[in-house]
Amino acid sequence: MKTKVLYAIPLLALLLAMPMGASAVKPGATFVNWNLSGAVMPSPPWGLHDIIGSDTSSKLILNQPNGAVSVMLTGAMNGLAPNTLYTVYISNSYTTTTVAWSLNGAWKLAFDSTLYPGGNPYMHDMTVTGGTATGGWPAGGPYTNSWTATVSVSGNAVTIVATYLLGSATYPYSFTATGTISSAGTLSGTWTDTLGDSGTWSLTSGNANYIITSGTGYPGLFYGVSTFTFMTDSTGSGSWHINLPAADFTGPTGTIYGLSVWINSPFPATILISNNFQVTV
């Protein structure tokens, strides 16, 4: 008969007994990183109730001592809502969702000039395909100035480096525009050029698209384990512990299963998701 032993630990006693750094952990014990739910699943809808900082202030300790108990999981939770009941899901491994902004499409950009404010805003066309773009001023053409550009996106930051092909009085001539993509897909930022001009810019037509490559989402409870709860104290801290026997970790073909831990708030909404981890059995 497989058994799981779970219980809450008085937080002060846990913190006094718990090693606070990897070098102090006794052999066989390791820390597993927490993630905010919106960091590894599509946001929204995930991440709407995440509590910033709770992933780094909370601890998840994995220990495999000798004896009948194969895995001991301990959660020392911090940075959560005070006096609140949370639910723990010991779950299967999941596949992380990847997200990225795509700027492909036709755009209109407004540039404000510091040296030549009389023409503000200077409206430009830009067409993006992958990491390259073509564009020109004035918007709608025919262009008095035309250019090609490289476009790069990192998270919600965008950089456009353009080189003019036509119309510049001084060659070579280029500008660099940097900015951010808002949650609504709009862009804005600042720019400088090689002739000493600078200013701000913004998107007036077009929209960045959020491309989501979906992972598994919630992968379901680990075999034979039920959910359980813990209560935080007045400072938003709490703890829990569960023992899992070795027999739970091998399937009929000898497969070693992976796990993850999910923490749900009372909304209910998942707010913390651990990294996937495996055990040696």
Say what the alpha-carbon torsion angle 197, 203, 204, 209 is, to the nearest 10 degrees.
160
Residue 100 amino acid letter: A
Number of residues that make up the chain? 281
Percent above pLDDT 90 for the chain:
54
CB 62 within 8 A of CB 53: no
DSSP 3-state assignment of 241?
A: strand
- State residue 214's pLDDT score: 63
The 10s digit of each residue's pLDDT in 112-153 is: 999 999 999 999 999 999 899 999 999 998 898 899 999 999
| Residue 153 or 216, more confident | 153
With 60 as the cut, is the pLDDT of residue 4 above it? no
- First-residue to last-residue Cα distance in the chain: 18
DSSP assignment letter at 195: T
For 274: left if phi > 0, alpha if psi spans -120 to 50, otherwise beta; the answer is beta
Average pLDDT (255-275) is: 90
- State residue 96's pLDDT score: 79
The answer to whether 5-96+217-278 and 100-212 have equal CATH topology is no
With 50 as the cut, is the pLDDT of residue 3 above it? no
Whole-prediction pTM value? 0.56
Q: Which residues contact 77 (CB under 8 A, 6 or more apart)?
A: 54, 58, 59, 86, 230, 232, 237, 238, 239, 240, 263
With 50 as the cut, is the pLDDT of residue 234 above it? yes
Euclidean distance between CA atoms 152 and 135, whole angstroms = 16
With 80 as the cut, is the pLDDT of residue 167 above it? no
Euclidean distance between CA atoms 247 and 231, whole angstroms = 30
Residue 252 amino acid letter: P
**Own/partner pairs, 268-271, CB within 8 angstroms, 24+ separation:** 268/87, 269/37, 269/48, 269/49, 270/37, 270/41, 270/46, 270/218, 271/36, 271/37, 271/49, 271/50, 271/51, 271/54, 271/80
The 10s digit of each residue's pLDDT in 88-113 is: 999 999 987 676 788 999 999 999 99
Superfamily of domain 5-96+217-278: Immunoglobulins (2.60.40.10)
With 50 as the cut, is the pLDDT of residue 7 above it? no
| Residue 253 or 209, more confident | 209
- State residue 114's pLDDT score: 97
- State residue 45's pLDDT score: 80
- State residue 250's pLDDT score: 66
Nearest Cα neighbor of 160 from 142, 147, 169, 145 is 147
Residue 137 pairs in a beta bridge with: 145
- State residue 263's pLDDT score: 98
- CATH number for domain 100-212, candidates 1.25.10.10, 3.90.650.10, 3.90.1150.10, 2.40.128.120: 2.40.128.120
Q: Indicate the pairing of strand 132-137 with strand 145-154.
A: antiparallel
Domain regions of the chain by residue span? 5-96+217-278, 100-212
**Burial call 178-202: b when 16+ CB within 10 Å, e when fewer:** ebebeeeeebbbebebeeeeebbbe
Sign of the alpha-carbon dihedral angle for 17, 23, 28, 31: positive
Euclidean distance between CA atoms 9 and 226, whole angstroms = 18
Q: Which residues contact 119 (CB under 8 A, 6 or more apart)?
A: 113
Average pLDDT (233-238) is: 98
